[in-house]
Structure 1
């Protein structure tokens, strides 16, 4: 798809400024702030109809990544402070201190986690829908119109099941995609979950969203949204 681009796009713009995109892993991303600034400048200085869906979606992937990283840092900072204060009060039970740190960390980042899952859910849903359009009969898509066909494809979970049926995602991705939907639902409709995040075994579970988005983006557009340093 990227070989068919008619003119310079967001990736050309990043290359002109010495960045190839989000080259990162969860523990290392020295260029992510610079990348965000460049993306903001790109959007501000272009007309809305000049920006393609794949560009907006790439920008969204970067925003999700940044939110997850910020969320992890805030969780760690607040948790460490709570643990240290707990131990300074004379408590010697390190396990209890760890549990307290985890609870306070989750409480602190709960609303941000809800935003992350909401963005992730909507992006994954859109990517799945367009990916299904790519593999379905083009004549059907032309005859009925893309929007109508999107509606016929079904809801979020149906799209995931169809992608699994067509071997575009394996059982592991299907499980993660389902979990994104369930976690987003719990966070939006159950206010208590925004404070305790009981649906997450660990804050690191958020990185599953990144891997799902990266796979779907690559399948749809022929290039990954993220280039992980550990895979070089």
Structure 2
């Protein structure tokens, strides 16, 4: 089976993507070492791939063991809720370091393996990567930058398939933090299920080889 490496695989959407791809792909589950990541790995009989997106040297060293890689799914990310005036330079640096620089570093390190397989890179972006969201200044900026990197990668690496998925708000721990910041009660029914977005990612990944899905936008249906 083809091999798929998924970042942020320890929980939430990343774990759901692992479940959606498990029937068709050999999985590599990337993330910071944790009991959650180990549990997902045990569930699917898949190896873990220790990953710290803020450590470029360790990323490069880890990538050397992969000669070919069919699919890279960028799902890891951080968000610090706050409007522009409430944000700090430290939060901006931390957000951009993980959401953009880390994704770039990992893609560059794995580029030889992806080229060898004529593979695919899938970026999990956000509605905030198309329209900035109030209270998510640094996060929105990072997602706009990630969108630009994906489009640059597609232009510069024509043998690869490069796809970006722009989900609306998803029922995850990150969403709970944002809802708490907004001072609202949390209602999971208002948001997309992780499994719904994961199935869309799986559909993108399993697109027949003569097709190339550039972008997918999905939003929760109004209740």
More strand by percentage: 2
Q: State whether TM-score is above 0.5.
A: no
Bigger radius of gyration? 1
Higher relative contact order (CA 8 A, sep 6+): 1
